[in-house]
Structure 1
């Protein structure tokens, strides 16, 4: 009788646990119903929940990512490099005969004529944008091409030198250079050539990227604008390999893309993409797939933050707080329908997404039955021992 009364008490406690919805049982996260009901609660909408269908996948795939060409405009290179402050300029001047301002004295009969060329030492273009040429004075060179500077010097020397000819070259190009830094073999300031250089030219001149291409991102800064784009995207789309301008800064950043897997999957961990693009189908497989005896195929969820414009496109008419810049969104996929696997293949994962698979209701019931068994096992064993005597 004592054993029967004790067993009844234990079963009564277990029944109370069941009545409470088994909320005290250990679990890896919310059930499918809890995720859905919390998102649909009009009194406390903590996130947006939407079913993943063809319309939603089409909207998401149609969103345009960052574009170097769209931000920085003209794809064509600069038509001509111009001299700027900080450049070093070399000026050579020839005269048609000896005995002039820049040539040697007249030759002695029977000997070769005097030198007819004079090279002015390299000069750094000052903050005033000018350099000094003997007998021509201070010449404004900043913003002008070498050919334009040659013409100015010729005009200044007219009537002073003997039929002068001038050659202006930039011996050290500072203003028409770009800075390449970050995850490259040899970061440096790289002068731009006259033919016009592009992003991949500058990265190659710096020795190329040190890490894997699919983990490398190129960040181009021009003035106050900065755009970051995957290296693989630039390689695959030549239109994004935009022409560089003097003063541009290229930073190569290594950012391995990852997502987090929770719930009833084979591996609950942070999973690297291993490539530049990854589908939801591949993400589930890389996480070890759904666990046969735990996973709810109706409870596959993808969590991420979306801008208000995307949320309005997904759920037209939904009220959105104007102060919200990013809104938590939960995409729900049911894998009971074979068509969902094609949707999962079309759905593109993003860096720092969260994949969650809820436990099936049967799994929660099994936990409850296991709890009953663990509570009643000692009593049952004791009763059997007592009956043996």
Structure 2
């Protein structure tokens, strides 16, 4: 029995000494929040409280309107290489270059000539009889009409000219990606918005909440979630000739680890997800394991934003992005409202630390595992004696 007591005491001592070596899902709350750990790991801890939430919600979001503006297109389209145009010329009297003899002046079209449809050549020009090669690339139809009229002045009888774009090949937008039918969509004079040309291409093939609209214009690429464009009419900007619109399917996810109902990569299932909803999607907190004061959201943030979050504390970590551990303390009733206001981002990590008592329970469980055979052996030996 003396041996048994000594064995038990030694087991308890060894267990308490080795408490930090007990297996676990991750660091304890105290370890994450210690200044030594933050300095060693080059990260910062930010409390999820009203001031931090105000800073996070005030940062500008990626926007089509903010990036490209929303100017309406010109009422006249510009002619480009590959477009087809039709030229009609009128004269004030018969007997001219483009009119019929006097005896037929009462007939239809006696003072009119329609030049066959032409495709604008690579040099940006078309041919007009008696006027020669006329450069039309980059001009509006009214400007081309003035050029042709000036070239025919003194040759035709008070000519008047009408230029019409019959086939629009240069003023187009390319729509591709997760659409029903990829298409090259002509831009009409009325002007079309992003959702107009996407609808012409058959609409999105993937679920809307998993779809991003990527717009390439002038060498710049901007991607905005499709639900944002649907919810904010200002984001449904006018397209421009040469735009490339790609619909990309990119499901938003976060990773849940630690003392949650499930450790997994969890899809948002919607475009905007709060921390409260993320905890629910991860199965909530495990009653006998979770530390309600140790709920962390891990992500990388721009260094300028982090400086605002930690002010007036100095920030010595290098940029341009800094690892941040946002902490939620659910023992504070107000934190439940903060969890609803905190917006999750794609690829965030939600980590729930184990409660301190969990480590103690593990120690006693380990001691019980180690000492039970000794106690049982001692009991058998005593019975035999």
TM-score, with length taken from structure 2: 0.91
CA distance in structure 1 between the aligned counterparts of 2:160 and 2:325, rounded to whole angstroms: 73
Q: Note closer, same or farther for the CA distance 1:279–1:40 as it changes in structure 2 (3 Å cut).
A: farther
* Counterpart residue number, 2:156: 161
For residue 324 of structure 2, the aligned residue among 320, 329, 350 is 329
- RMSD over aligned Cα atoms: 2.5
* Counterpart residue number, 1:15: 13
Q: Deviations over 1:71-96 (max 9, x none)?
A: 11244333432112232222233456
Q: Tell me by how many angstroms 1:119 deviates.
A: 3.5
Report how many aligned residue pairs link the two structures: 384
1:251 and 2:251 are equivalent in the alignment = no
Helix, strand or coil at the partner of 1:91 = strand
CA distance in structure 2 between the aligned counterparts of 1:156 and 1:239, rounded to whole angstroms: 45
* Counterpart residue number, 1:83: 79
* Counterpart residue number, 1:198: 193
Q: Note closer, same or farther for the CA distance 1:380–1:42 as it changes in structure 2 (3 Å cut).
A: closer
Residues 106-255 of structure 1 mapped to structure 2, 5 A cutoff: 117-255=112-250
For structure 1, which runs of at least 5 residues remain unmatched after alignment?
A: none
Q: Note closer, same or farther for the CA distance 1:108–1:44 as it changes in structure 2 (3 Å cut).
A: closer
Q: Tell me by how many angstroms 1:339 deviates.
A: 0.9
Q: Note closer, same or farther for the CA distance 1:180–1:62 as it changes in structure 2 (3 Å cut).
A: same
* Counterpart residue number, 1:56: 52
* Counterpart residue number, 1:92: 88
Q: Tell me by how many angstroms 1:202 deviates.
A: 1.1
**8 Å Cα contact 1:301/1:355 also seen in 2:** yes
TM-score, with length taken from structure 1: 0.91
Residues 12-51 of structure 1 mapped to structure 2, 5 A cutoff: 12-20=10-18, 22-37=19-34, 39=35, 41=37, 43-44=39-40, 46-51=42-47
* Counterpart residue number, 1:378: 373
More displaced stretch, 42-51 vs 97-106: 97-106
Q: Tell me by how many angstroms 1:312 deviates.
A: 1.1
More displaced stretch, 144-153 vs 184-193: 144-153
Q: Tell me by how many angstroms 1:343 deviates.
A: 0.5
Q: Deviations over 1:150-180 (max 9, x none)?
A: 2221222233334544332222223221111
CA distance in structure 1 between the aligned counterparts of 2:159 and 2:277, rounded to whole angstroms: 72
CA distance in structure 2 between the aligned counterparts of 1:196 and 1:108, rounded to whole angstroms: 43
CA distance in structure 1 between the aligned counterparts of 2:149 and 2:211, rounded to whole angstroms: 50
Helix, strand or coil at the partner of 2:166 = strand
Q: Note closer, same or farther for the CA distance 1:78–1:388 as it changes in structure 2 (3 Å cut).
A: farther
Helix, strand or coil at the partner of 1:304 = strand
Q: Tell me by how many angstroms 1:321 deviates.
A: 5.2
Q: Tell me by how many angstroms 1:382 deviates.
A: 2.5
Q: Deviations over 1:227-261 (max 9, x none)?
A: 11111111111111111111111111111111000
CA distance in structure 2 between the aligned counterparts of 1:172 and 1:333, rounded to whole angstroms: 61
For structure 2, which runs of at least 5 residues remain unmatched after alignment?
A: none
For residue 101 of structure 1, the aligned residue among 97, 103, 120 is 97
**8 Å Cα contact 2:15/2:364 also seen in 1:** no
CA distance in structure 1 between the aligned counterparts of 2:94 and 2:54, rounded to whole angstroms: 79
**8 Å Cα contact 1:75/1:239 also seen in 2:** no
**8 Å Cα contact 2:254/2:267 also seen in 1:** yes
